[in-house]
A and B are shown apart, each in its own frame.
Chain A
Amino acid sequence: MRSIVKGEVSQHTMKLQQLGAKVNVINSTLCYVHFDICGFILQYVYNINQKGNYFLERTKPYPLALQEIGTEKDVVKLIKSDMNKFKNALKCHHIDSFITIAREINSTYRIFEETFLNYNIPGEKVDKIHKKIQALSLEIEIIKDNAQILFEEETNT
């Protein structure tokens, strides 16, 4: 099996090189982390390698690339902090709306990307979307400024 995977990697590498890419293949371990908090599923995936950084990503309840992290200690710390926030958020009766909105933001982002990469969009439409996004961000900032703090924000998230 390992031999077949090696063969597969060689094929991808050669095809990507012909596209002009520099491909660096390294051995690493992929870890899947699964929490079941009273039926609410929280999942993460992170990669450990010997070449430097650790890549952590939340996959459920909605995908979010969390960050590149320097040590495995920080991976556990970050997951713990994220999990505690979700545990607390589960007590709130808006949690379902929050998850729905987050998923819709993700889905809107995909539609936005597909639209701008696959179609020729006029400049005024781009400006219109940009202004709406800025207005939405501002509204979220205003809500945040007027709300009670539950957790201190981590500068690196």
Chain B
Amino acid sequence: MEFNHLFIALLIFIITYAIIVSEKINRTSIALFGATMLLFTKVITQETAIEKIDFNTIGLLIGMMIIVNILRRTGIFGYLAIKAAKAVNGEPWKIIVVFSIFTAISSALLDNVTTILLIVPITLVITDTLESNPIPFVLPLILVSNIGGTATLIGDPPNIMIGSATGLGFVDFIVNLAPVIIVIFTVVIFFFRLKLKNSLSISEEKRADILAMDENLALKDITLLKKSGVVLFLTIVGFIMHQYFDFESATVALIGAALLLLVSKVDPEEVFLEIEWPTIFFFTALFILVGGLEAVGVIDFLAEKMLDITNGNIFWMVILVLWGSAIASAFLDNIPFVATMIPLIKSMEAMSTFSITPLWWALALGACLGGNGTLVGASANVIVSGMLEKHGNKLSFFKYMKVGFPIMIVSIMISTVYLIIFFI
């Protein structure tokens, strides 16, 4: 009976994972089907499946989606982008730099996919006005959105999952990851400076068109902006303080979301329509699938093997997790990968006599920065590629990889040095 459950759980997990990777079927549909098959074959009971769902991750995702959906209605992102473009006199390279800084910070404080959805359309309007090829403007934004998102607990879904599973808080992520992220960000900007140095000239006439844009026209609702700004500020303060008051991060996000829904008077139905429910259900199904593997002992088995391979040496464990996550996340969806790695590392923690905290930072850096490696490595990359194609500027897999992959390798090398110096 035990062996049957082990075999069935492994089979369901491998088939589901392979189909998610192949992208032949919608990832949420196949993940939900796989999760329900675990119930149908009685590998786990419904009660166990529900226990395995990490409601802190789900609550944090939903809470932030609600806040951002209301905030975007104010037009603040368009306002700030036009103001920034005018502040640098419409000079293309400076626009890239200020938009990159804005994207990195915004990705860290909201999340990287949302930020890309807000900033790339504005960038395309700017490049249309400049009559410039949008790819040199948009490509750095994709990369820095994934880099900026790595710096905080809420910036990228892998970090949300890691934070929720480990109890590491918003401040822990900033203190431990933000320094290396600032270094990587600087290196990436320097790389683009060298690459784009002589290719960004525009006419005075086009520059004047940028300066003629009116940022105030982008603002839609000042009252809503004030309310959303205050609630977002309080939510971020809440994230900073949540460990001191013993609140889960999801509690903070959901309080912020509920407060904003209440004071903004925006129709909740309209807001809920904009929540990315397929992503939420994808997470839910993955927690059940990985929970199935845990229940039959596969995760413990893999953890033992990993300890054997690395001889229980923390240095090799960090290297293996960091580089393994980066390479895997460059080609696979990093969400199922991290969902599998979390119980694995937890299991290793239970079997080890030393602190494995560096492994969590290695996982966060590897999984988030690895997404920059290829066009399919992160949701932000896929969305921007779709937007560019619709705009008539196709960004091919290899054209992206020629830039993204070396940047990913350099980022992971910097992370390796950082982890060795400060954590091992």
In the assembly, what is the distance between CA of A46 and CA of B113, in Å? 33
B interface, CB within 8 angstroms of A: 75, 78, 113, 117-118, 120-122, 124-125, 128, 213-214, 217-218, 267, 269-270, 273, 383, 386-387, 390-391
Interface residues of A in 83-125 (CB under 8 A from B): none
- CB pair A17–B387 under 8 Å, yes or no, is no
CB-based nearest B residue for A20? B217
List the A side residues contacting B218 at CB < 8 Å: 14, 17
By a CB distance below 8 angstroms, the chain A residues around B75 are 17
Give the nearest-CB partner of A9 in chain B.
B121
A18 to B217, Cβ gap below 8 A? Answer: yes
Query: Are A8 and B125 in contact, with the CB atoms below 8 A?
Result: no
Question: How far is A132 from B273 in the complex, measured between Cα atoms in Å?
Answer: 52
How many residue pairs at the A-B interface have CB separations less than 8 Å? 49
- Distance of B76 from chain A, by nearest CB (Å): 13
Q: Which residue of A lies closest to B389 (CB)?
A: A4
Q: Mark A1-26, 1 if CB is under 8 A from B, else 0.
A: 10110111011001101101000000
Report Cα–Cα, A20/B78, bound state, in Å: 15
CA distance A1 to B117 in the complex (A): 12
- Bound CA–CA A10/B213 (angstroms): 16
Contact status A18-B213, CB under 8 Å: yes
Decide if A14 touches B78 in the complex (CB within 8 Å). yes
| B383, A4: Cβ atoms closer than 8 Å | yes
**A8 and B213 contact, CB distance less than 8 A:** no
Q: Out of B128, B269, B273, B383, name the residue touching A7 (CB < 8 Å).
A: B383
Is A134 part of the binding interface, using a Cβ–Cβ cutoff of 8 Å? Answer: no
Q: Which residue of chain A has the shortest Cβ distance to B273 in the bound complex?
A: A27
Query: In the complex, what's the smallest C-beta–C-beta distance from A16 to chain B, in angstroms?
Result: 10
Chain B neighbourhood of A18, CB < 8 A: 125, 213-214, 217
Which residues of chain A have C-beta atoms less than 8 A from B124's C-beta?
Answer: 11
| Known contacts A4-B390, A7-B120, A20-B217; A14 and B270 CB within 8 A of each other | no
Partner of B121, one of A7, A17, A20: A7
How many angstroms between the C-alpha atoms of A15 and B269 in the bound complex? 27
Point out the residue from A1, A10, A20, A27 that lies within 8 Å of B122, measured CB to CB. A10
By a CB distance below 8 angstroms, the chain B residues around A17 are 75, 78, 217-218
Within A16-61, the residues touching B (CB, 8 Å) are 17-18, 20, 27, 50
Chain A residues positioned under 8 Å from B217 (CB to CB): 17-18, 20
* Contact across chains for B390 and A6 when beta carbons are under 8 A apart: no
- How far, in whole Å, are A15 and B218 apart by their CA atoms in the complex? 9
Do B78 and A6 have beta carbons less than 8 Å apart? no
Residues A3 and B383 in contact in the complex (CB < 8 Å), given A8-B390, A18-B213: yes
Q: Which residue of B lies closest to A16 (CB)?
A: B217
CA distance A72 to B49 in the complex (A): 43
Q: How near does chain A come to B277, taking the closest CB pair, in angstroms?
A: 10
Whether B121 pairs with A10 at a CB distance below 8 angstroms is yes
By the criterion CB–CB under 8 Å, are B125 and A7 in contact?
A: no
Q: How far is the CB of B120 from chain A (nearest CB, A)?
A: 6
Tell me the minimal C-beta distance from A52 to chain B in angstroms: 13
Interface of A is mostly: helix
A15 proximity list for chain B (CB < 8 A): 125, 128
Report if A8-B273 is in contact (Cβ < 8 Å); known contacts: A14-B122, A14-B125: no
Given the complex, which residues of A lie within 8 Å of B270, measured CB to CB?
A: 27, 50
Query: Given A3-B383, A17-B75, A20-B217, list of 14 further CB < 8 A pairs?
Result: A7-B383, A7-B387, A8-B121, A10-B78, A10-B122, A11-B121, A14-B218, A15-B125, A15-B128, A17-B218, A18-B125, A18-B217, A27-B270, A50-B270
- Cross-chain contact A4 with B386 (CB below 8 angstroms): yes
For B216, the closest partner residue in chain A by CB is A17
Residue of A nearest to B75 (CB): A17
**In the complex, what distance in Å separates the CA atom of A86 from the CA atom of B63?**
53
Within the assembled complex, what's the spacing in Å between the Cα atoms of A18 and B214? 7
Determine the distance from Cα of A145 to Cα of B254 in the docked complex, in whole angstroms.
67
Q: How far is the CB of B264 from chain A (nearest CB, A)?
A: 16
Q: Which of A14, A20, A27 counts the most chain B CB atoms within 10 A?
A: A14
Q: In the bound complex, what is the Cα–Cα distance between A17 and B74 (angstroms)?
A: 13
- List, sorted by A's number, 5 A–B pairs whose CB atoms are closer than 8 Å: A7-B117, A7-B120, A8-B390, A11-B391, A17-B75
**Which 8 pairs from chain A and chain B are nearest by CB?**
A10-B121, A4-B386, A11-B121, A17-B217, A7-B121, A7-B387, A14-B125, A3-B383
Task: Collect the chain A residues with CB atoms within 8 Å of residue B269's CB.
Answer: 50
**Cβ of A4: which chain B residues have Cβ within 8 Å of it?**
383, 386-387, 390
Q: Which residues of B contact A10 (CB under 8 A)?
A: 78, 117-118, 121-122
C-alpha gap A6/B119 in the complex (Å): 12
CB distance from A99 to the nearest CB of B (A): 37
Complex: A20 Cα to B121 Cα, angstroms: 18
Q: Which residues of A contact B390 (CB under 8 A)?
A: 4, 8
Q: How far is the CA of A88 from the CA of B122 in the complex (A)?
A: 53
Q: In angstroms, how far is the closest chain A Cβ from the Cβ of B296?
A: 36
